[in-house]
Structure 1
Amino acid sequence: MATSCIPGRVTVYSVPGCPHCLQAKATLGALGLPVCDVDVSHDAGLRAQLKKLTGSSTVPQIFFNDVHVGRNEQLKNLAPEALERLVCMVKKEPVPLRAPPLTAGNSVTSDEGDGGEFKCERNVFADTVEDSKRSGLIGSRRRWLRVHRNSFTGTKLVDWLCSEEGLGKLSQLPLQETGNIKIVQIVMAKKQIAAMTGKRHFDKSNTSFRLLEFDPHAALNSGEMAVCSPTKASELSEALRNLILKLYSDYLSADGKTVDYKSMSQSPCFERYCELAVQLQHVELLSLSREEKLAFFINVYNALVIHGNLRLGFPKNIWQRYRFFNYVSYLIGGEVFTLEDIENGVLRGNRKGVAQLLKPFSKNDPRLQVALPDAEPLIHFALNCGAKGCPPIKTYTPQGIDSQLRIAAEAFLENDDGCMVDSVKGEVKLSQLFKWYKVDFGGTDEKLLNWVADHMGPSQKKLSLKTLLSAGNVKVSYMPYDWTTNSTE
């Protein structure tokens, strides 16, 4: 029977990049049913309505006409005769008026988007930087026993900037007191150059500098000049996130378990993403609110993991993983941030990570200004490390970020690979994430289990855990972590 002739409807409430959502839609598609996919990631009103209807904030939520089936797990566990009855109902009966709404505005949302639309205003320094490369200003310079490549001295920079060739491009800036030091300070403040000695201000004429695009740390978005004017981090993050979600939508397998990284790396969409990631070099970070900071750095972390996997390959052992998370980096707002820096330095309030002897940021590190004042435990259910044991990639926005993170935690704990409760043995098995970051959840077994119970959605599992906690003497153990790559190869 052609789906166009079917009077009923199967409604799947989902978010882009959700593996369980993709699995459910693949199952339903194989049954020849008309699936109405409703993206709830950007509509807080629809999410609230969905929770009222189903009692849960996690996705997917599946309806056959007006009959609520539940999540992907409930769909898979339906008895064959029950599933057959539901399929026959959709194929024979029209959608009743009491069926769930599509959106708050009664129109289906779509995750196609604009593929990362981002309006770029050309930086007034961009032409000057390009001219400097052709002028002979940049070269190699020996300083004591070291050779500074792609560098120039403060004296040469000032002389060139003050020349007719260099200052001509800067004449459009509202400069006052354009003395030698003032000019270089302005160029440094605009995140075009950095002192190779680590100094933050120009104070000596023989200081060595380099353009940010020649970052020696091999950040994945360096080696090319960012031509856009410094922009709000939240705006650029939105465009980057949309591109990554589109890539996952295009190259995630039907069951949501694997990613075709090889094809993804050859796609025009990934090329566009790489071009856009370069603009992270100049974003403004210090003005970010707590909510904007959470959304921005979670999205950037997940995108950087994908970028690292595509460029360097997925780490296959403990040593490669250590190197991957301490090496793969982006140049963001004039500073280098590795994956470890983002997770432990920024999002965990500058706490030591797994196998780290020191905090990521020292007290004089400028990146410390960006770090959250305290660790946010919910980020552990939002960060995706590229392994099958990680939480799925989801959409995060500054608006409602706390509720989005709570939903992510609820979904993680709802699955058995996040938490299992054995009432007979009086044992709770948890993901290794809770062992590695136990300090973020209270530091003791009792506080950890109470945190888990408080962040579970209404379910039999939660009732069982509450009963065990009331009885006392609960045993806590941790399940092996699945480091298997989610690549198709």
Structure 2
Amino acid sequence: MEEFESGARGRVTIYSVQGCPHCVRAKATLGPLGVPVCDVDLGMHSELRAKVRELTGRSTVPQIFFNGVHVGGSDELQKLAPEELQRLVNLVKDEPLPVDAPPLPQKTQSEDTAGENDGASELSLILRELILKLFSEHLSADGKSVDYKGMSASPAFDRYCELAIQLQRVELLSLSREEKLAFFINIYNALVIHGYLRLGAPTNMWQRYRFFNYVSYLIGGEVFTLQDIENGVLRGNRKGIAQLRRPFSKTDPRLQVALPDAEPLIHFALNCGAKGCPPIKTYSPQDIDSQLRTAAEAFLENDDACTVDSGKGEVRLSQIFKWYKADFGGTDEKLLNWVLEHMGDSPKKNSLQGVLSAGKTKVSFLPYDWTSNSSH
């Protein structure tokens, strides 16, 4: 790169993230062009993310600029006609950088001490963008069914699989509670889909048990199965359904990653691939609690999750509330109060309030639809 710098007046700026295959491909294309290429790792310089998004209108990587001209990502770079690419190369060679050139990071001492690990929240963000893309193309509008066949043939899914391998390098202990919630909910929902695509949907109780205890990712150097993510991390290391012991023993290094206590709202965000599950969405760390509350409200509004019979003084709830009753207070009374507090204002909420005020409420549980959420 040095040999061209004296000759070229401008530069190419590429915003990338370590381990992103599209970034690698873009850099391989830019390398032989004979112009200085400045690679900015947004994993290490997350302070520039907002600025890049403002300049490009996108939050994906890579983003490539020739001087001040935004080309786009790797695909757009590959699609440039040879004469157009040559024009951009000449621009960098002949024209000085504009005043409002894309920003470079301020040099700080921390760069020397930056670890080898990818930031989990950065990788989570990129995976979330990819998952969003996959969902927008292969998920029904209500988030209830997935076109697994279409998804397995998608290039975005191949890229997702490549990026999922990067999870092994993630540093989990630096995550805040909010980052942890968003990261592990998104990873769980994507891992279920990944498992379905690789192994097919489980069709009976035994296959489901095996699926949730077997399908896993290597994250931060440790193996996390679906069961470990849900009951170990997100439920504060509580026993799951049909589990004899807690997922993590006292000496298990994964215990350090677990939330200090169960977060009941995760039950309205995790989708296990069955029709009885809440819809699939992706979550971001910013205001995660209000996103989860909204998911709970939406779930409780459905009659396959909660019905109130004022005449009989009976409330029928999803099996989720039976399986994880401990997370909602452990008694029928606490469970019903939790449900009431987390409902949106609606006629159903008024009915529930009335039934609870009358006292002696009967609680029963609705049948759970284990049918696969495959749209075909």
Given the two structures, how large is their TM-score scaled by the length of structure 1?
0.54
Is residue 273 of structure 2 the alignment partner of residue 386 of structure 1?
yes
Q: What is aligned with 1:353?
A: 240
Aligned partner (choices 347, 351, 356) of residue 460 of structure 1: 347
Length, aligned pairs only:
272
Aligned partner (choices 318, 333, 336) of residue 223 of structure 2: 336
- Report the CA distance between 1:488 and its aligned residue: 2.8
Q: Relative to 1, partners in 2 of residues 1:246 and 1:463: Cα closer, same or farther, differing over 3 Å?
A: same
The one-letter code sitting in structure 1 at the alignment partner of 2:341 is D
Match runs of 1:97-116 below 5 Å: none
Is residue 160 of structure 2 the alignment partner of residue 247 of structure 1?
no
Counterparts of 1:397 and 1:440, CA distance in 2: 23
The alignment partner of 1:477 has SS state of strand
- Report the CA distance between 1:258 and its aligned residue: 3.0
More helix by share: 2
Aligned partner (choices 116, 141, 149) of residue 262 of structure 1: 149
Match runs of 1:219-368 below 5 Å: 229-253=116-140, 257-368=144-255
The one-letter code sitting in structure 1 at the alignment partner of 2:132 is L
The alignment partner of 1:278 has SS state of helix
The one-letter code sitting in structure 2 at the alignment partner of 1:402 is D
- Report the CA distance between 1:230 and its aligned residue: 1.4
Aligned partner (choices 250, 256, 263) of residue 376 of structure 1: 263
Counterparts of 1:465 and 1:113, CA distance in 2: 44
The alignment partner of 1:405 has SS state of helix
Conserved? CA contact 2:142–2:279, under 8 Å? no
Q: What is aligned with 1:474?
A: 361
- Report the CA distance between 1:434 and its aligned residue: 0.1
Counterparts of 1:374 and 1:455, CA distance in 2: 19
Q: What is aligned with 1:39?
A: none
Q: Relative to 1, partners in 2 of residues 1:256 and 1:353: Cα closer, same or farther, differing over 3 Å?
A: closer
Q: What is aligned with 1:405?
A: 292
Sequence identity of aligned pairs in percent?
Answer: 77
The alignment partner of 1:240 has SS state of helix
Counterparts of 2:374 and 2:237, CA distance in 1: 31
Question: Which protein is bigger by CA-based radius of gyration?
Answer: 1
Conserved? CA contact 1:113–1:242, under 8 Å? no
Q: What is aligned with 1:438?
A: 325
- Report the CA distance between 1:252 and its aligned residue: 2.4
Q: What is aligned with 2:61?
A: 117
Given the two structures, how large is their TM-score scaled by the length of structure 2?
0.69
The one-letter code sitting in structure 2 at the alignment partner of 1:387 is A
Q: What is aligned with 1:36?
A: none
Give the unaligned 5+ runs of structure 1.
1-111, 120-173, 176-189, 191-228
Per-residue CA deviation, residues 281-313 of structure 1 (Å, 9 max, x unaligned), is 100000111111111111110110111011111
Per-residue CA deviation, residues 172-201 of structure 1 (Å, 9 max, x unaligned), is xx99xxxxxxxxxxxxxx8xxxxxxxxxxx
Counterparts of 1:430 and 1:255, CA distance in 2: 21
- Report the CA distance between 1:266 and its aligned residue: 1.2
Match runs of 1:84-103 below 5 Å: none
The alignment partner of 2:266 has SS state of helix
- Report the CA distance between 1:439 and its aligned residue: 0.3
Conserved? CA contact 2:119–2:171, under 8 Å? yes
Once the two structures are overlaid, the 10-residue window that deviates more, 347-356 or 390-399, is 390-399
Q: Relative to 1, partners in 2 of residues 1:254 and 1:289: Cα closer, same or farther, differing over 3 Å?
A: closer
The one-letter code sitting in structure 2 at the alignment partner of 1:341 is D
The alignment partner of 1:352 has SS state of coil
Q: Relative to 1, partners in 2 of residues 1:118 and 1:291: Cα closer, same or farther, differing over 3 Å?
A: farther
Counterparts of 2:203 and 2:300, CA distance in 1: 27
Give the unaligned 5+ runs of structure 2.
1-56, 64-111
- Report the CA distance between 1:113 and its aligned residue: 5.6
Per-residue CA deviation, residues 76-127 of structure 1 (Å, 9 max, x unaligned), is xxxxxxxxxxxxxxxxxxxxxxxxxxxxxxxxxxxx966x5369xxxxxxxx
The one-letter code sitting in structure 2 at the alignment partner of 1:327 is Y
Conserved? CA contact 2:192–2:273, under 8 Å? yes
Counterparts of 1:386 and 1:118, CA distance in 2: 32
Q: Relative to 1, partners in 2 of residues 1:353 and 1:257: Cα closer, same or farther, differing over 3 Å?
A: closer
